[in-house]
Structure 1
Amino acid sequence: MSLPMLRYGRQSIDQDDIDAVIDVLRSDFLTTGPAVEAFERMLCDVTGARESVVCSSGTAALHMMAMALDLSPEDNVVVPSMTFMGTASAMRLTGAEVIFSDVHPKTGLMEAENLEEALRRAGSRRVKVAIPVQLNGWACDMKALNAVAEKHGVTLLEDAAHAIGTTVTENGRNVPVGACTQSKMAIFSFHPVKTITSAEGGAVTTNDSDLAARLRRLRSHGITHRPEEFLERVAAFDASGRPNPWYHEMHEPAPNYRLSDVHCALGLSQLKKLDRLVARRRVLAERYDSALEQLAPVVRPVPHVPSCNPGLHLYAVLIDFEAIGIDRAAVMQLLREQGVGTQVHYIPVHRQPYYRRRYGDLNLPGADAYYARELSLPLFPDMSDSDVNRVVDALAKVVGRVS
């Protein structure tokens, strides 16, 4: 009897998650109701940020950040090439140009020297924003990156789509990613393979209340229902000064990026279990770290980042495919035949045809080196300890078959 396929990632749904969704389906609100506000409040509690604004996806969150900072075709944005393409695409939707930065060849993370090099390459072009990516759940050295950004007058944002539940040591205390102590805003994704899920969904966190108010308008057609924001005073209020109950204003055109109460009910239920879900991922990762020692040096986990306690989204390894004499596609197929699903995170975005046509061929050796060796192994909380052994045994067979 064949064992079930272990995918590289999947959601972990319990009965309480199902019950939370059913409760909303039986309520008066399917969208834009109390579950949205409750989810946002708990995101603030978890991240330590003063404001959170949920939306329909992590990419929507990125686009909202870009719009909130009024990015335009006159602006440039530094984005690491080792990321999902949405990080760059969301910036291009504003007309801003992307300057791809390199990353560390073993961690895939943007470092201060990578940001400095990208800014030098920008020359006289105006760079308004830089967006480090917290890859796999490991966090960049945001303090060092922010020092570079401040020196050059650049606003630092965070793509923390992978990193809900990650903490970093800052001034002797553990600070959650998303607290925005070194950045203006941070985004999260709640796609099913992430640490928690709302089926689809995302969020922006910030400590700037004015930015948060604008983000809420930008997720809903640029419309506000808040009387204190109304500009047309005569139309907005009756003779006694009370706001007209039907009245609303559109201050700028924007998409519909709202997240429904159904999604937020699931997200809130999942967020209540974040500590448990993160802890289980860490246990599984530690088991991988130990079990994979037998496959060194041809297979090594992505190195741990100092002063970071990750809420791991992915368990990434670096494989010396040349040394084992077999290419990555063949390794993935042989693992699949043993019931082990894998994935590659990511093809460097600067290699995508759209960006090659726009910016030409770039020399980013760190991103290319990381991509050449990366493979993401199964990691999700419902895995058993024996599942980790099964994955490592399967990988050992593949390595042994060609060694």
Structure 2
Amino acid sequence: MPHPFIPYGRQSVSEADIEAVCAVLRSDWLTQGPTLPRFEAGVAARCGAAHAVAVNSATSALHLACLALGLGPGDTLWTSPNTFVASANCARYCGALVDFVDIDPKSYNLCPVALERKLERAAQTGSLPKVLVPVHFSGQPCAMERIAELAAAYGVRVVEDASHAIGASYQEEPVGNCRYSDLTVFSFHPVKIVTTGEGGMLLTQSPELNERLVRLRSHGITRDPALMEGEPDGDWYYQQLELGFNYRMTDLQAALGLSQLERLEEFVERRRLLAERYRELLEGLPLVLPWQASEARSAWHLFVVRLDPERARLTRRQLFDQLRQAGVGVNVHYQPVHTQPYYRRLGFAPGMFPQAEAYYAQALTLPLYPGLEEAQQDRVVGLVREALS
């Protein structure tokens, strides 16, 4: 009898989660009700942020972050090539240019040394970016203190793409407190740490950014008389102050997120235990195991290994195919954004960011999620060991 398929990631939905959603279905408010602000307040409190704005996806959150910081035509955004395309696409939505900063070969995050060199060159040519988006890849925080120092020295605004990293910490403080950034973005896609089905959130310490984000997520509309031009006609009255979007999160999604938030520490601890177990079981194989910075604690959204081409007897593609055929849903994160056809048409080409490309050629994501049983993990490791032996 074949073994059940083991995905690389999967949501963990409890009966309490289901009941929380059903309670909203039985209520008077399916959207724009009281559950959404409770979810926002819960995330803000756990992360130490003054403000949180929930939206319908992390992609929407990145778009609004760029708009709130004034990114537009003639401006440039820099990000990591080792990320999902949304980290770069958000600039294109605003009519801005995109460029990339190569990754650190140990953390796979945006490299502060490469950033410093690129900023120095850009200052000399008058081509500094307006916004920088460091990505906390796989749940491990970037070297944010150094990144923030460099950004401040050159007048660059910072948005942390922490789509992988709710529950992670940096310098013993939670990711999301925006100590080293203007804004932080979380994702609540089903394979992430906690889920709302689809969804995202922006966090900030700035009341001005918060006010604009709230307006932008809902058509650019305000009902606040203090912000209106002229006097309101009555209690029904609203004004559209700018071009916004319908990026709202429903109360149904917020209820699921609020319930999931109660298990955030449980989810992250289970992921950490499984990651440590992978380290022990994979030791000695021709693999480069994930490296962790001393000042950071990963949320372990992903467990990514690199196949050592000098010691392995097969290619990454062969290993990937063997595991998939055996029912193990390994994956690859990420194809370097600059090699995608859309970005190649904008002038990027293979060879421009060699560290990201070298990493991609060897990377393989193994299954990791709270519901992964140790027997399933043993099976994954056994198949990897068999293929590499």
TM-score range, shorter chain: over 0.9
Q: How does 1:280-319 map to 2 (within 5 A)?
A: 280-295=270-285, 298-319=286-307
Q: Deviations over 1:211-251 (max 9, x none)?
A: 10100111111111223322222xx15xxxxxx21111111
Deviation of 1:121 (Å)? 4.7
Distance 2:38 2:309 in 1: 48
Q: Deviations over 1:162-216 (max 9, x none)?
A: 00000111xxxx2100100000000000000000000000000000011101001
Which of 210, 234, 241 is the matching residue for 2:208?
210
Deviation of 1:321 (Å)? 4.0
1:378 and 2:378 aligned: no
Distance 1:114 1:265 in 2: 42
Asked if structure 2 preserves the Cα contact closer than 8 Å seen for 1:78 and 1:98, the reply is yes
1:263 and 2:263 aligned: no
Deviation of 1:365 (Å)? 1.4
Asked if structure 2 preserves the Cα contact closer than 8 Å seen for 1:101 and 1:114, the reply is yes
Counterpart secondary structure, 1:74: coil
1:253 and 2:243 aligned: yes
| Count of matched residue positions in the alignment of Structure 1 and Structure 2 | 386
Letter in structure 2 aligned against 1:153: G
Asked if structure 2 preserves the Cα contact closer than 8 Å seen for 1:104 and 1:111, the reply is yes
Distance 2:260 2:245 in 1: 27
Tell me the TM-score normalised to structure 2 length: 0.97
Letter in structure 2 aligned against 1:311: A
Compared CA separation, residues 370 and 329, structure 1 to 2 (3 A): same
Q: Deviations over 1:262-301 (max 9, x none)?
A: 0000011001110111111111111001111031xx1121
Distance 1:78 1:67 in 2: 15
Asked if structure 2 preserves the Cα contact closer than 8 Å seen for 1:293 and 1:300, the reply is no
Comparing 246-255 with 356-365, greater Cα deviation is found at 356-365
1:276 and 2:266 aligned: yes
Q: Which residue of 2 aligns with 1:185?
A: 183
Deviation of 1:384 (Å)? 1.4
Structure 2 stretches lacking a partner, 5+ long: none
Distance 1:258 1:118 in 2: 37
1:53 and 2:53 aligned: yes
Tell me the TM-score normalised to structure 1 length: 0.93
Q: How does 1:121-200 map to 2 (within 5 A)?
A: 121-122=121-122, 123-169=125-171, 174-200=172-198
Distance 1:301 1:214 in 2: 42
Q: Which residue of 1 aligns with 2:77?
A: 77
Distance 2:317 2:310 in 1: 13
Counterpart secondary structure, 2:246: coil
Distance 1:373 1:272 in 2: 36
Q: Which residue of 2 aligns with 1:241?
A: none
Distance 1:143 1:111 in 2: 12
Distance 1:355 1:63 in 2: 18
Asked if structure 1 preserves the Cα contact closer than 8 Å seen for 2:9 and 2:368, the reply is yes
Q: Which residue of 1 aligns with 2:68?
A: 68
Structure 1 stretches lacking a partner, 5+ long: 238-243
Distance 1:351 1:55 in 2: 29
Asked if structure 2 preserves the Cα contact closer than 8 Å seen for 1:38 and 1:268, the reply is yes
Asked if structure 2 preserves the Cα contact closer than 8 Å seen for 1:44 and 1:51, the reply is yes
Letter in structure 1 aligned against 2:194: I
Q: Deviations over 1:122-165 (max 9, x none)?
A: 33124211110000000111000111111111111100000000
